[in-house]
Structure 1
Amino acid sequence: MKPEYSNFLKQLGQVIESDRIITDALRRLALGTDASFYRLIPQAVVMVNTEAEVVQLLLLAGQHKVHVTFRAAGTSLSGQAVTDGILVRLAPTWNGIEVLENGGKLRLQPGVIGAHANRQLAPFQRKIGPDPASINACKIGGIVANNASGMCCGTAQNSYQTIDSMRLVLADGTILDTADPASRQAFVKRQPEMIATLASLRDEVAANQELTARIRKKFSIKNTTGYSLNALVDFQDPIDILMHLMVGSEGTLGFVSEVVYRTVEEHAFKASALLMFADIERTSRAVTALASAPVAAVELMDRASLRCVEDKPGMPDYLAALANDVACLLVEVRGTSQQELDQRLAAVTAVLAEFDTLHGNAFTIDADICQRYWNIRKGLFPAVGAVREKGTTVIIEDVAFPVESLAPAVLELQQLFSKYHYDEAIIFGHALAGNLHFVFTQNFTDAAEIQRYADFMDEVCVLVVGRYDGSLKAEHGTGRNMAPFVELEWGAQAYELMWRIKAAFDPAGILNPEVILTRNLRTHIEHLKPIPEAHDLIDRCIECGFCEPVCPSKNLTLTPRQRIVVMRELSRLERQHANLHRSDEYEQLLSDYQYQGIDTCAADGLCSLACPVDINTGDLSRFLRSERNARYGGRADWVAGHFELVANGTRAGLKMLDLTRAVIGDSALAGISKVANKLTFDALPQWHDAMPQASGSARPLAPTPEVAGAGVDLVYFPSCASRNMGSAKQDDDQRSLQQVTLDLAKKAGLTVIQLADQQAFCCGMPLESKGMFEQADAMREQLNQALLVASDMGRIPVVIDTSPCVFRMSQQLDKRIQLLDPVHFANRYLVPKLAITPVDDAVAVHVTCSTTKQGLGTELIKLAKQCSTRVVVPEDISCCGFAGDKGFVLPELNASALAPLRGQIKDCKEGISTSRTCEIGLARHGEIPYHSLFYLLDRVSTSQPVVAHSIRRDTLSQD
């Protein structure tokens, strides 16, 4: 490490705790990666909690002349969020949201995810203006810093146009709150040179009519190339100019610590149409016509784009038969009422009447069909990424043309693809804004390939700027990718203005150097990210970061993207040292990855739902565990063959803990277990008051030939957890979940049977999670056979009382077996036969990972609302991180994942879920009792008469 950085970090350690100053190789690599195709490894990563820490960090950076780059979510595509200096990341504390003026404005801190901001505005039928495709992952800091736009916001609703006020920190530590008159006055006094410089630049541009006209023209279409020079012509007050220059400045001018947006209307009524045209020329003429129609979005897709998705599930059958010249438009019309929507649809249909379209031009309001259409558009970028050759990078470029030039521009782009042999390239984009994205794959492993890319980009620049005077970067930011071409687009005079702006804001040049402005004309082809093959399970990853918000370990160790980054680096190092002694670097990285990447992965699979190419990083973690645990195969065989002994031993162990607690008390037991946990290196769990007691017995209702033929409604197979883990001691209801389920079934008049020897059976999930696949499958097969017999070869449905078990079983058991998740069981078999009187107490609902993966989250919440008039669904918690037994042996994962929980449920009396182990962690960190939804449903319901229902109640016996 360079001396200036060592000295900087030493002094910074007096301001920020050491655990937030990250210098180890693994995390510098993992945390330093963003979604672009560039890689720089920071000297250190610093997690900042407060604005005051940012101020101190910048003061020290200026003193030691070290480079600082700010990072929000790292979804940026142009290389603006990577550095070999100090990378400053936002800690979870930067998530403040405040709705103002009945939804008319929204105050946000930079760590808020864009979709979460819109979630707060949904009750007011409002949203923020920017709508980037990454809105479920990207954060407000990045949205502002890149002036992100999207499919519907165009140039009228981006951050530049909708920003109301901003709180910011300059490179010298100066704070400005543009909404506060006192702060503005103080800033003018403290920064007279900057105020004078901005006023001078404003006047200079105003006096130059040619330059003013050029700036206005450049921003009449989407443009994020260079700085927001339109601020110099749109505003008079230097502070207003300053605020708008910060928008799109990519962290090169200062740090944005808070913004207030003027929100825009979110229409409740929508209709979409997928319109096919014979060629791109007719498609472009339709775009020009639609520009004056009341449309919300017009997305263009060329034939190559459609070919990428034509074989995907749910796509229209006719896509595969389209001719090669066909192009299409996806058009959306919106209204605040059905009447307004109908009026707008009539106007749009009239405009389209003069165009011949293939397969009609009808609009639909069917939400499922509309979603299918938009899935085509949203699936294009990942579709190319998923099929690329291993070792190649997927690149998405982002340009804009005057709308009237779309047709020839697309044709010339396609000619360039052919010339440079980018045969897989596709073109799509926001047609109304003249904004086109083109996606292709690139190998950066040798000089010839890099030169091919460089030559291609040179010609793209000539095409976009030289022929059509368009934007080289329409909405993805300049970054490193287009920094060498900013002068080409803007000309020498405007380019020099940008350098003067940079000097005024950051005279020492410490903020994100080589981004937006550079004197190095090779910046765009340096520091290219290697994408080596690592494993079939993850090689399709495009490192976009969409997976990160749902990962329970995101604030503890690594996210799925970061795990993949490290795995790729391990693979690269292993190949580099093939047949030689492994390097110390490799060995250290491998050692550190055990905890950071494997042990603390919850393997919940939610990452696959957010991933555009369907990667489940949990599968990788299980595979790596299988390699590590192979030596324990004999033990796993014994467990699989003697599960009844294991289960009974678990219950006996819990009973022993219950007895010990009764004798020595809670505090002593907690202390002893903490010591035991440390001495056994986390092998023994730490005890706490949310820990379960031994489950009370409930005699199995054994199936018999007489019962099976006499109107049996259900087979009930309790999970291992519910058979062995009972309620916590402080819970009001001390019945086991098994008993509650049977009581509910009886109340609903259902005839239920169980496996006589059910304690001997398990779906195998505990072994699968540890990578013991063969033994897990053996256990699953034993259960499969038992349930087939009990269910009369699948005729009788089988109810399972915990969602995680249902999810595994539904994927791997005989398809004849009709499995019922707790939510399905309640909604189909219980609620229709019960009289429910909802309670007025607030109830918290936790939707488990497996419930989400089964698509039952909404049903669970609706069910809770039938049982309580006040239901709370905590935000920003997707997986609780308990992950089977990890909540016992790695409690820090559970604690980190549930850190936002307590503050959101403080008014709740109880919480419900559908997984016994999850409920243990939720109760501990939520500090309220959590239990199965069945407890609540049983408490608020009574039997009601069942018409024409014949059952044998005498077969339903229980303790």
Structure 2
Amino acid sequence: MLTGKHKEFYNSIIEKIPQDIVFTDDLHTLAYGTDASFYRLIPKIVIKAETSKQVEDILKVASAMKLSVTFRAAGTSLSGQAISDSILVITSRNWTDFKVAKDKSYISLAPSLTGAQANNILSEYSKKIGPDPASINAAMIGGIAANNASGMCCGVSQNSYKTLKSMKLIFSDGTHLDTADENSKEEFAKTHKEFLQSLKMYAQDVKANKQLNEKIRKKFKMKNTTGYSLNALVDFDDEFEILQHLIIGSEGTLAFIKEVTYYTVEDYKDKASALVYFTDVNEACKAVTKLKLEKEKNIISVDAVELMDRAGLASIEDDPKMPSYIKDFDENVTALLIETRARDDKQLDVQIKQIEDSLNEFSLARELYFTKDIEEYTQYWKIRKGLFPAVGAVRKIGTTVIIEDIAFPIEYLAEGTLKLQALFKKHNYNEALIFGHALEGNLHFVFTQDFSTEEEIKRYDDFMYDVTQLVAVQYQGSLKAEHGTGRNMAAFVELEWGNTAYEMMKKIKYLFDPNNILNPGVIINEDKKAHIKNLKPLPKTNELVDKCIECGFCEPVCPSNVLTLTPRQRIVINREISRLEDEEHNIEKAKQLKELYQYDGIETCATCSLCSTACPVGIDTGSLTKHLRHEQITITQDRVANMITNNFSATLTGMKFGLKAANLTHSILGTNMMKGLTSSLRKISGNRVARWSEHLPKGISINTRVEQKASDLKVVYFPSCINRTMGLSSASKEEKELFDTTVELLNKAGFEIIFPKNIDNLCCGMPFSSKGFTKQADVKSKQLEKALLEASNNAQYPILCDTSPCTKKMVESFKTNLKLFEPIEFALEHLVDKLHLEKIDEAITIHTTCSSRKMGLHEKFIKLANMCSTRVVVPADVTCCGFAGDRGFNYPELNQSALRNLPNSVKDVKYAFSTSKTCEIGLSEYSGIDYNSIFYLINKCSKAK
């Protein structure tokens, strides 16, 4: 419950911004207040800001009350710079405006676009943004700029600082500034004259201090995000250039970034990578130093060099996609993942040869080998990017995974790395591993830490003391190379920079934020023990998700990420419930949190499991939701499920009757009246009545006694129970039902169709398993498997199911080796070579279902669509549709939220296709286009050979 100034702030702010974006309850403040770091502060108020005006209002009210405000984008930052115990402002995922320059030389980006989205926008122009953090798929532009996040390839030449063109900012008093707009700058110069004069004076003072000037230039030749970007004071004379470059890396402590304009960089498509295995870390580091020096002299062209020590290799050696020989390496072998890029393939060969020649003098554990194969080198980089979460996944449950981020001057890389490894042994961090962007002298080291005892906290504190002395004092390196200062290193900023530079940083902070309301305690923090306070617990909750380190990589693909919670946030809440249940005096609080979690965590989870595809260690939060649903099943519900299981055919008959009745009523009342009537009924019932849509299919019955010729080419066709029940909607422009279209297509390709016996009673079990009825799902799955085994003559013939989710459920559940296909893969393997395809000259779009994506069929679907149409549109920001079986009827807001970006992506499209009837219902409604099975398109554009 809010008290004091925070209550006063809340009452004031909800008069200015929508109340539904302001959260004060226990569930949302904890869930939204958690980031990827190992620190925890729970905000009293969380606001999901959607516009700059809202941020302005928040800052004006907070400034007047002197209440602290912290800004958060995606929350992938690792150093504790995005947490708060006061007011946390999260940029809404809907804040995603952008504009590309006519000549494509720059791009303006709103704060909530991810780095991957920015690169997708630029990809058609062979351009990209410079910053390339490993978390680029999840990290948002606001956070990338605020942390000066870099990564594998951008080094110090293409990071946010070096590629910044302009910014739109909001200061702590609510003042706006657009550094690309002369009128905005003139107005700011009038209202903030003394501010700009002070900024200019600071720059003059630093330039006049020869020792400090040289120190700044030297330190920023390396990657460095410790403290403020003091290089702005020596690199620029113009006050506005100084100002905006100080914002880069300032971690929300100086101003709010509402837009960033980056100069774009070339994105060469011709690439080659090599995993080069050296006999030890010393050899590998010496090789890095040589590559760096030769690159600076333009002797070679190398874009990235990533180091992985033996412990790092051991953490991924069991991955089936990694070479098996890694397991045979001795304890000293160290790998460098090297990439080179070129304008064309011929030049690429030249660059590969140059790098090979450069490495000839070093001792290798295995012959050097460069690959140009996209799939092969993409896998190398995927594994490298997943090293940090992968280490966290094998930690002892209850411990925290720590990642530190340092840089040595390149000439001391080998020496510094060996001494760092010695510190691991000194402090008994025997499982620690090292990896990182070695070409920049930038190393990440990862280890697990138990913070449950004072003894363990002291061990970490002692270790950090030794590390900071080694890096900052002995070698004059960076204590934070790219992850930002945060709470993690704020206590050591003065140690690295010295008193003179640190005092200048404090002046900068006071100049921008005189009331110290913007993210206090981050970058500037006088508490020398700040790095060991407010530590986050990671208690055990369920083995399905206990490996999670809360990195947030899962969040962009989750269909409920705007509506309610993300997979990370669901895990956070489940951990807290488990913690409270373990404490007798908190049992009632755990119960209250469970009640709050029901809608946000369980009802609006699509259980699509796409989170597992984005998670580096494959954590499936959808499975957790199914487990929780199973725990909530009552005796009555279980009996009803048993009755449906044993009388499945009758149940489907009832569904058909209901669909026919609904469509008959619709035909009598008309669309508008039907919508009004059903909406009223739904509202009166407290949303217990399912939502009606004009795209609701009609009830149908299929006839499997089709006329066909005998053929040696046989296929078992299992129409899913959905497609045996649901036909075309009244809004559809197609004339034939999917069953009839599929039969026509198979016959056209020369197949004799075999239908399984007792088909009316068969089901894959998915409608049961998604709701937690695991026993009933297993019964239906076994029945179907037995029927298909018989129909396929003991797996002799391929089996086609016309619905992708059902096929995936069968693949996962069946014990026998049946040849199971959904529409995409069946078409590519068994249809296209037997048909003459003629592309239609119309724009089409496709939607790859969650199940198809998890089966690795997204690229294949695109390939198939391109065989059938001259123009294929694949919406970049639509993953799971959120219909989720029947969730689209009972929780339509999930479907609507998941498809919020779809309409703008398919404006010029005529036809739309997918591989799941229920998905197609929601897709049709929210796009305004009639979605149908891909078989309709293949049938439309094909002739028999």
> Which bin holds the TM-score, normalised by the shorter protein?
over 0.9
Q: How does 1:255-294 map to 2 (within 5 A)?
A: 255-291=256-292, 292=294, 293-294=300-301
Q: Is the 8 A contact 1:764 1:775 kept in 2?
A: yes
Amino acid in structure 2 at the alignment position of 1:428: F
Counterpart residue identity of residue 694, structure 1: G
Q: Quick check: 1:28–1:41 contact (8 Å CA) kept in 2?
A: yes
Query: Does residue 149 of the first structure (1) align with residue 150 of the second (2)?
Result: yes
Q: Which residue of 1 aligns with 2:625?
A: 621
Once the two structures are overlaid, the 10-residue window that deviates more, 56-65 or 666-675, is 666-675
Runs of 4+ in 1 over 4 A off after TM superposition: 700-703
Amino acid at match of 1:53: Q
Deviation at 1:727?
A: 0.6
Contact 2:120 2:876 in 1 (8 A): no
Question: After alignment, is 746-755 or 882-891 more displaced?
Answer: 746-755
1:591-602 correspondence to structure 2 within 5 Å: 591-602=595-606
Report the 3-state secondary structure (helix = DSSP H, G, I; strand = E; otherwise coil) of the residue aligned with 2:582.
Answer: helix
Q: C-alpha separation between the residues in 1 aligned to 2:867 and 2:323?
A: 38
Letter of the 1:177 partner, please give it.
Answer: D
Once the two structures are TM-superposed, the CA of residue 324 in structure 1 deviates from its matched residue by 1.8
Show the counterpart of 2:611: 607
Corresponding residue of 1:590: 594
Once the two structures are TM-superposed, the CA of residue 941 in structure 1 deviates from its matched residue by: 2.5
Task: Report the equivalent of 2:690.
Answer: 685
Report the 3-state secondary structure (helix = DSSP H, G, I; strand = E; otherwise coil) of the residue aligned with 2:807: helix
In structure 2, do the counterparts of structure 1 residues 372 and 933 end up closer, same or farther at CA, with 3 Å as the change threshold? closer
More displaced, 100-109 or 817-826?
Answer: 100-109
Structure 1 position 342 matched with structure 2 position 346:
no
Amino acid at match of 2:926: H
Verify the 8 A CA contact 2:177 2:185 in the aligned structure 1. yes
Q: Tell me how far 1:242 sits from its aligned partner.
A: 0.1
1:38-187 counterparts in 2 under 5 A? Answer: 38-187=39-188
- Equivalent residues of 1:700, 1:754 under 8 A apart: no
Task: Specify the SS of the correspondent of 2:307.
Answer: strand
SS at match of 1:124: coil
Is 1:537–2:515 an aligned residue pair?
no
Aligned residue runs from structure 1 range 610-759, under 5 A: 610-631=614-635, 632-700=637-705, 711-759=712-760
Whether the 8 Å CA contact 2:412–2:475 is kept in 1: the answer is: yes
Match of 2:511 in 1: 504
Distance across 2 between alignment mates of 1:655 and 1:475: 61
Distance (whole Å) between structure 1 residues aligned to residue 446 and residue 512 of structure 2? 35
Alpha-carbon shift at residue 173 of structure 1 (Å): 1.4
Q: What does the per-residue CA deviation read over 1:50-71, in whole Å, with 9 as the maximum and x for residues that have no partner?
A: 1111111111111111111111
Question: How far does the alpha carbon of each residue in 1:136-181 deviate from its partner, in whole angstroms, 9 at most, with x for none?
Answer: 1000000000001101111111000011111111111111111112
Contact in 2 for aligned 1:284/1:404 (Cα 8 Å): no
Q: Give the TM-score taking structure 1 as reference length.
A: 0.96
Q: Give the corresponding residue for 2:928.
A: 927
Displacement of 1:922 in angstroms is 0.7
User: 854-863 vs 246-255, which deviates more?
Assistant: 854-863
Instruction: Give the whole-Å Cα distance in 2 for the aligned partners of 1:47 and 1:432.
Output: 39
Is the CA contact 2:93–2:113 (under 8 Å) kept in the aligned structure 1? no
Instruction: Pick closer, same or farther for the CA change 1:742–1:155 going to 2, 3 Å.
Output: same
What is the CA–CA distance in structure 1 between the aligned matches of 2:836 and 2:278, rounded to whole Å?
56
Give 2:311's aligned residue. 304
In 1: Cα distance, 2:612 partner to 2:749 partner:
38
Distance in 2, Cα, partners of 1:865 & 1:344: 34
Q: Distance in 1 between matches of 2:685 and 2:796?
A: 48
Aligned AA for 1:675? S
- Give the C-alpha shift of residue 735 in structure 1: 2.0
**1:96–1:109 contact (8 Å) kept in structure 2:** yes
Count of aligned pairs between the two proteins? 937
Residues 199-247 of structure 1: per-residue CA shift (max 9 Å, x gap) = 1001101111011001111111110000000000000011100000000
Please tell me the root mean square deviation across aligned C-alpha atoms, in Å: 1.6
Q: Secondary structure at the match of 1:808?
A: helix
Structure 1 range deviating more: 276-285 or 62-71: 276-285
- Contact (CA 8 Å) 1:701, 1:754: kept in 2 or not? no
Judge which range, 735-744 or 480-489, deviates more. 735-744
The alpha-carbon distance between structure 1 residues 471 and 909, as it changes in their structure 2 partners (threshold 3 A), is: same
Deviation of 1:389 (Å): 0.3
Secondary structure, counterpart of 2:391 in structure 1: helix
Structure 2 residues not aligned, in runs of 5+: 295-299
- 8 Å CA contact 2:56–2:175 kept in 1: the answer is yes
Q: CA deviation at 1:362?
A: 2.8
Answer whether contact 2:554 2:614 (CA < 8 A) is retained: yes
Instruction: For residue 486 of structure 1, report the CA deviation from its aligned partner.
Output: 0.4
Structure 1 CA distance for aligned equivalents of residues 383 and 147 of structure 2: 26
CA distance in 2, matches of 1:608, 1:915: 21
Gap change, CA 1:492 and 1:625, over 3 Å in 2: same
Residues in 2 aligned to 1:279 and 1:620: alpha-carbon distance in whole angstroms = 42
Following TM superposition, by how much is the alpha carbon of 1:712 offset from its aligned partner in structure 2, in angstroms? 4.7
Partner of 1:951: none
8 Å CA contact 2:282–2:418 kept in 1: the answer is no
> Are the counterparts in 2 of residues 700 and 756 from structure 1 also a CA contact under 8 Å?
no
How far apart, in 2, do the equivalents of 1:826 and 1:474 lie? 50
What's the CA shift for 1:833? Answer: 2.7
- Using the alignment, how far apart are the partners of 1:567 and 1:702 within structure 2? 55
Q: Could you tell me whether the CA contact under 8 Å between 1:143 and 1:159 is conserved in 2?
A: yes
Q: Secondary structure at the match of 2:305?
A: strand
Q: Which of the numbers 436, 443, 455 marks the counterpart of 1:436?
A: 443
For residues 586 and 407 of structure 2, the distance between their equivalents in structure 1, rounded to whole angstroms, comes to 51
CA contact (8 A) 2:704 2:755 kept: no
The letter of the residue matching 2:254 is: L
Structure 2 counterpart of 1:522? 529
Query: 1:195-210 maps to which residues of 2 (within 5 A)?
Result: 195-210=196-211
Which 5+ residue runs of structure 1 have no aligned equivalent? Answer: 945-959
Structure 2 counterpart of 1:381, from 381, 388, 402: 388
Q: Please, which moves more after superposition, 226-235 or 5-14?
A: 5-14
**Change beyond 3 A, Cα 1:837–1:316:** closer
Shift of 1:581: 7.2
Instruction: Please give the alpha-carbon distance, in whole angstroms, between the structure 1 residues aligned to 2:132 and 2:322.
Output: 24
SS at match of 2:504: helix
**Larger deviation: 764-773 or 119-128?**
119-128
CA distance in 2, matches of 1:356, 1:664: 81
Question: What is the aligned partner in structure 1 of residue 838 from structure 2?
Answer: 837
Pick aligned residue for 1:555 from 541, 558, 562:
562
Q: Deviations over 1:413-442 (max 9, x none)?
A: 112111221111001111111101000011
Q: Distance in 1 between matches of 2:69 and 2:79?
A: 17
Q: Does 1:465 align with 2:472?
A: yes
Whole-angstrom CA distance in 2 between matches of 1:343 and 1:933: 44
Aligned letter for 1:156? S
SS of residue matched to 2:339:
strand
Equivalent-residue separation in structure 1 for 2:850 and 2:379 (angstroms) = 24
Task: Please give the alpha-carbon distance, in whole angstroms, between the structure 1 residues aligned to 2:466 and 2:64.
Answer: 42
Residues 702 and 754, structure 1, Cα contact 8 Å, conserved in 2: no
Once residues 851 and 397 of structure 1 are traced to their aligned partners in structure 2, the CA distance between those partners, rounded to angstroms, is 37
1:900-919 to structure 2, matched below 5 A, reads 900-919=901-920
- Provide the rounded CA distance (Å) in 1 between the counterparts of 2:369 and 2:811: 39
Code of the residue aligned with 1:269 in structure 2: it is D
State how 1:859-898 maps to structure 2 within 5 Å. 859-898=860-899
Q: Which moved more, 1:270-279 or 1:776-785?
A: 270-279
CA offset digits 1:369-410 (Å, max 9, x no partner): 323433442332123111100101111100000111112211
Matches within 5 A, 1:777-796: 777-796=778-797
How far apart, CA to CA, are the structure 1 residues paired with 2:279 and 2:935? Answer: 58
Contact 1:843–1:870 (Cα < 8 Å) also in 2: yes
CA displacement, residues 592-630 of structure 1 (integer Å, 9 cap, x when unaligned): 111110111000010001011210000000000001014
Q: Secondary structure at the match of 1:912?
A: strand
Distance in 2 of aligned mates of 1:772 and 1:790: 27
SS where residue 702 of structure 2 aligns?
A: coil
